[in-house]
Chain A
Amino acid sequence: MALLEVNGLKVYFHTRDGLVKAVDDVSFSVDSGETLAIVGESGSGKSVTCYSLLDLLPKPPARIEGGTAMFDGVDLLSCDANSMRHFRGNDIAMIFQDPMTSLNPFLTVGEQLIEPLIYHPDKTRIQTRSNARLRAIELLDEVGIIEPEKRFDCYPHEFSGGMRQRVMIAMALINEPRLLICDEPTTALDVTIQAQILKLIKQLQQKRNVAVIFISHDLGVVAGIADKVMVMCNGTVREAADTESVFYRTENDYTKKLLAAIPEGPKVMETRAQAGAPLVEVTNLKTYFKDYSKGVAGTQKRFIKAVDGVSLHIQRGEILGLVGESGSGKSTLGRSILQLAPITEGTVSFAGTQISGMSPNQLVPWRRKMQMIFQDPYASLNPRMTVYETLAEPLLYHGIATRKTIDEQVQHLMDDVGLARANMRKYPHEFSGGQRQRIAIGRAIATKPELIIADEPVSALDVTIQAQILDLILNLVERHNLTMMFISHDLSVVRYISDRVMVMNKGVIIETGDTESLWADPQEKYTRELLKAIPLADPKLERERVLSRSL
């Protein structure tokens, strides 16, 4: 018998808008030393499935309507709160998506780590503080934290995202769980860090023979570590099989759709770049921010060099991809070009005119020619303005539409970005993420700009939606003769969309090249590492890569 056997699990949400079948008749099993990946888009019920096992769902509105979950002979769904506490963080541990918010900022990392050891519900297993400390340091070392004795007394903000996730993993392992549930543990991390964390999870699993449930929206990520894959959609299981059959021999339409949506492989195409003078020319651009944090010798004026001497040009009609990990300065570079961030040094020219150093008033006529698409479609739309108002605002402000033509022009814009006209009077919260990003794109193209800087426009979206938005962007670029700078941390997306790619790290451009030649033959070590870290949606190749990557 498997370690965990879930049978016919049903979780319904009783909301004011009616019944939502979040999980509907889901069965699976996972055994010690085995990794089950649950893959699905947002709203597929993959997280709800696992949360219900540990009784972590808000009830109401959630209600478990049926099914059993036998863990080592005990039904998790029917046991009371006390025995559930016994399982939680003990036999079953969980790793959450966002390492930034899942640690308490007011307690040292060490204090949080030993908490489960010294405040254990099972009195016989309580350890002394010094023993617990030793155990925690041992674990920190095991998850690859350098100088664990020193780091034990540090606060979470002194750790980077990847390091925090390691701490979370150490915390999950401290009571020797037999089942580890990872809820998108690498989604918030950079691609190189993701590779390290995946390797760590794989190694720890092999060493300790634990069962792992790995939740992810990304099929590519799980290829290398999963033994079995369960694909979920709208609360039901679409496919459940061993990893090879899912990736190589799937018959399921939905799985095929997910696999097809992963932007991958070379795209043979003519470059869109037009000859002639470049549309944007940036020379030796530097953007520094003042750092007010206190140094050792009191408050000193220091600078964070977000962009440190970047020169680039963008030809008319081309899509220039800009990749880099978080903190590389890529977003600041985009904002600096648009004069949204204050430039410390250097010049930016647009269509032959120098726009850096212009006053806000002088910039107004230029602003309509260069627009931005933001990452988070939830934050980039005013929640109190309808689609109509959001789209009409730039049109009216720049005198592109008159009061008579505005209705028609807004409707055109909505057609352009693939939104139904009937939605005109709705507010942003009534739309899904993908639809919101369409509204944001509509606002950006409303003024008929020549340049669009897209800052991670698809990073917050599900993979199938991501593919749709990328196609929409490509379509619009061609139809409206746009020039684009496409910023992303996701190399596969950049490869899919760009003519030329720049790699940025620590404020400087590491390497620039045509997309395919850069992929085929990266010149710099950093670029090679970055490319190597991308997970492939191919289990055979990926399995070896996962473990071969250096930590």
Chain B
Amino acid sequence: MDRVILEKTDERGSSLWQDAWVKLRKNRLALWGLAVLVILCVVSLLTPWIAPYGYEEQDLILGATPPSAEHWLGTDIFGRDMLTRIMYGGRVSLTVGFIATGVALIIGVLWGAIAGFAGGRVDAVMMRIVDILYALPFMIFIVLLMVVFGRNIFLLFFAIGAVEWLTMARIVRGQVMALRKQEFVEAAYSLGLSQWIIIRRHIIPNTLGPVIVYTTLTIPSVMLLEAFLSFLGLGIQPPQSSWGLLISYGVETMEEFPWLLIFPGLTLSLTLFALNFLGDGLRDALDPRTSKD
């Protein structure tokens, strides 16, 4: 019953998020970031219908050509259209980026918040688990996963999420340990609120600043990690593609066919900029101490 009542308060008391939205709308850069991300996502979603060519359409005779009227961003050594490949690559990269980061975010924040809030033995055990996972060599971990489960894209999410949440958990734990000693948490406790409500309403919202910043940094690094995994054979395989893969192939032929590196690289940078601007905007917007105007 308490839960029900508090859910209702959330509705009324969602002013933190309402205020955040009002403030975010006034932040020009963050809005640009958001717009770029939305466009990238929509394009990725619609790719099968709007892409100029099929992603495995080859033209071996044509080979690698610089940007032209037929192929706006040029073609690779197999004569495949770069624009098409970047669009298809975006589907993989954005999915991996958002889902794996989302997984890392949820596990990391909850794990860190619980460990930091509980303290004592629970904290020690939980953080030692984190340490053990940290110590596990990533490559061996991946090879093990491949041996046991074979190759598939969900495994990719899992593998990336499994490493990325560790740092998040540590960041959140540190924040929570500092917050736990704050008087407003003690006040909430003395009001008789349950621990879960204290964590959810008083602790987690106050860790948002560093969490958001770290998240925006995680997404691009996850995209590059995916390229590394794909390169190893886990993840996706040609002729499928992702931004990370395109970049790593582009590096190999950088001297002869620079456009094979430049365009995927630009796309990834654009995403990264957009994420950072949005992240900064969100952090400021979610902090009531920054002014509303």
Q: List chain A positions with a Cβ less than 8 A from chain B.
A: 16-17, 338, 340, 360, 363-368, 370-372, 374-376, 379-386, 388-389, 392-394, 396-399, 403, 406, 425, 427, 429, 440, 443, 447
The reply to whether A376 and B191 contact each other, CB–CB distance below 8 Å, is no
Looking at the assembled complex, report how far the CB atom of A17 sits from the nearest CB atom of chain B, in whole angstroms: 8
Enumerate chain A residues within 8 angstroms of B59, measured Cβ to Cβ.
none
Q: List chain B positions with a Cβ less than 8 A from chain A.
A: 1-2, 5-6, 8-9, 12-13, 15-16, 182-184, 186-195, 197, 201-202, 205-206, 208, 286-289, 291
Q: A386-B15, A393-B201, A427-B289 are in contact. Are A447 and B184 (CB under 8 A)?
A: no
The reply to whether B9 and A374 contact each other, CB–CB distance below 8 Å, is no
- Looking across the interface, which residue of chain B has its beta carbon closest to that of A443? B187
The reply to whether B190 and A382 contact each other, CB–CB distance below 8 Å, is no
The reply to whether A379 and B184 contact each other, CB–CB distance below 8 Å, is yes
The reply to whether B13 and A386 contact each other, CB–CB distance below 8 Å, is yes
The reply to whether A396 and B5 contact each other, CB–CB distance below 8 Å, is yes
Enumerate chain B residues within 8 angstroms of A383, measured Cβ to Cβ.
184, 206, 288-289
The reply to whether B186 and A340 contact each other, CB–CB distance below 8 Å, is yes
- Looking across the interface, which residue of chain A has its beta carbon closest to that of B182? A379
The reply to whether B16 and A397 contact each other, CB–CB distance below 8 Å, is no
Docked pose: A399 CA to B1 CA in angstroms = 9
Enumerate chain A residues within 8 angstroms of B182, measured Cβ to Cβ.
379-380
- Looking across the interface, which residue of chain B has its beta carbon closest to that of A368? B192
| Contact with A389, one of B15, B191, B193, B291 (Cβ below 8 angstroms) | B15
Docked pose: A371 CA to B187 CA in angstroms = 8
Docked pose: A367 CA to B206 CA in angstroms = 24
Looking at the assembled complex, report how far the CB atom of B124 sits from the nearest CB atom of chain A, in whole angstroms: 14
Other contacts beyond A384-B16, A397-B2, A399-B5: 20, CB < 8 A: A338-B190, A363-B192, A364-B194, A366-B192, A370-B190, A371-B191, A372-B187, A374-B186, A380-B186, A382-B202, A384-B287, A386-B16, A389-B9, A393-B9, A394-B191, A394-B193, A396-B5, A397-B191, A403-B12, A406-B12
The reply to whether A382 and B186 contact each other, CB–CB distance below 8 Å, is no
The reply to whether A429 and B288 contact each other, CB–CB distance below 8 Å, is yes
The reply to whether B288 and A427 contact each other, CB–CB distance below 8 Å, is yes
Docked pose: A425 CA to B22 CA in angstroms = 14
- Looking across the interface, which residue of chain B has its beta carbon closest to that of A340? B190
The reply to whether A443 and B191 contact each other, CB–CB distance below 8 Å, is yes
A-B pairs with lowest CB-CB distance, top 9:
A367-B192, A380-B183, A427-B288, A389-B13, A374-B183, A379-B183, A382-B184, A364-B192, A384-B205
Looking at the assembled complex, report how far the CB atom of B183 sits from the nearest CB atom of chain A, in whole angstroms: 4
Enumerate chain B residues within 8 angstroms of A16, measured Cβ to Cβ.
291
| Contact with A374, one of B6, B187, B194, B195 (Cβ below 8 angstroms) | B187
Most buried by A among B1, B193, B286: B193
- Looking across the interface, which residue of chain A has its beta carbon closest to that of B195? A360
The reply to whether A385 and B16 contact each other, CB–CB distance below 8 Å, is yes
The reply to whether B206 and A382 contact each other, CB–CB distance below 8 Å, is yes
The reply to whether B192 and A398 contact each other, CB–CB distance below 8 Å, is yes
**Sampled A-B contacts (20; CB under 8 Å):** A364-B192, A364-B194, A367-B192, A368-B191, A372-B186, A374-B186, A379-B184, A383-B184, A383-B206, A384-B206, A385-B201, A393-B193, A394-B193, A396-B6, A397-B193, A397-B197, A398-B191, A429-B288, A440-B187, A447-B191
Most buried by B among A364, A376, A393: A393
Docked pose: A385 CA to B188 CA in angstroms = 12
The reply to whether A403 and B190 contact each other, CB–CB distance below 8 Å, is no
Enumerate chain A residues within 8 angstroms of B191, measured Cβ to Cβ.
367-368, 371, 393-394, 397-398, 443, 447
Looking at the assembled complex, report how far the CB atom of A101 sits from the nearest CB atom of chain B, in whole angstroms: 17
- Looking across the interface, which residue of chain A has its beta carbon closest to that of B286? A384
The reply to whether A396 and B8 contact each other, CB–CB distance below 8 Å, is yes
Looking at the assembled complex, report how far the CB atom of A353 sits from the nearest CB atom of chain B, in whole angstroms: 16
Looking at the assembled complex, report how far the CB atom of B270 sits from the nearest CB atom of chain A, in whole angstroms: 31
Enumerate chain B residues within 8 angstroms of A429, measured Cβ to Cβ.
288-289
- Looking across the interface, which residue of chain B has its beta carbon closest to that of A372? B190
Q: A388-B13, A429-B288 are in contact. Are A380 and B184 (CB under 8 A)?
A: yes
